[in-house]
Amino acid sequence: MMSKRGPKTEAGKAVSKMNAVKTGAHVKGLLPSENARQLAIDCRRLHEQWSGPDPTSQALVNQLHSFQVRIDRLERYEFEFVTTRMRGHGARADFCRDAGIDPARASDMPNWIFDDSLPGREEAQGLLAHRSELINRVKFCRTILHNPRKLRKELEEMISLGKEFRISIERRIRKAILDEAGNFTPDMYLRCFEEEYIFELFWAGDPQRCDAIVSGIRAGVMLEAQSNETLCRMRAWVFKQQLQHIAVLKQLKLERTKEIFIE
């Protein structure tokens, strides 16, 4: 009798499952759960928003759409992972109430947040505090966007200083690590990341996507400090690639439209 193929240990099975997730997220073709017509509509909308006559911007829009598809896949995988964990958590309603989490939003949270131990509750409270801070920053940036005069002044200052819109996030992180003398935390990394890309995201004119992306990065970075490291690294890479493409597209759009803002 032939023996079963595949990993025998729990650790091996976990690695195998994560490899399957990675393959599924990055496959170039359509997955059975995806709608080809809807994906085509989404891609066309991105081209209407960003694409210019030049091949470079068109290629970047295609890349941006590809990264968005991957992010959506990863979010579905994470949702399934979290809901499976929640089903096994008999006191999830009590936990959500004690931690101050809206049960309707519970499925958006990382899986470790449903740990009913004291550290799990403390992390849950921390995530809520971070989200509150982010919402305040989002409101502030939206205020700037709704004030063209202030926005024009910001742009004039940046252009007069010759500020580049794409700055290496790695350089900032390395500096922060040195400044903190080894006490660099995931939250410090996230703060660098947000400071680097917050303007690019809002210049893209999509504050809802900005909120979703930065919230996802925040949850991913905090999750990486706890568990499921492979999935987090994969998500962080996709987020970073998408943000870089948004920054390039924004710069191309600025070159085509800055006469509107600067008389």
**pLDDT in the model for residue 69:** 75
The string of DSSP letters for the chain reads -PPPPS--SHHHHHHHHHHHHHHHHH-SS--TT--HHHHHHHHHHHHHHH--SSHHHHHHHHHHHHHHHHHHHHHHHHHHHHHHHHHT-TTHHHHHHHHT--GGGGGGS-GGGG--SHHHHHHHHHHHHHHHHHHHHHHHHHHHHT-HHHHHHHHHHHHHTT--S---HHHHHHHHHHHTTT---HHHHHHHHHHHHHHHHHHTT-HHHHHHHHHHHHHHHHHHTTS-HHHHHHHHHHHHHHHHHHHHHHHHHHHHHHHHH--
Q: Express each pLDDT in 34-93 by its tens digit.
A: 888 888 888 888 778 766 666 656 666 676 677 667 767 766 665 555 455 545 544 455
What are 122-154's pLDDT values in tens digits?
Answer: 544 544 444 454 444 444 444 444 554 554 455
Mean pLDDT to the nearest integer, 226-231? 47
Q: Which residue has the higher pLDDT, 23 or 46?
A: 46
Quote the pTM value.
Answer: 0.38
Q: What mean pLDDT comes out for the span 186-193?
A: 52
pLDDT in tens, 155-181: 445 444 444 433 334 444 445 444 544
pLDDT on residue 15: 53
Q: Give residue 148's pLDDT.
A: 44
Percentage of the chain modeled with pLDDT above 90: 0
The residue-averaged pLDDT of 201-220 equals 50
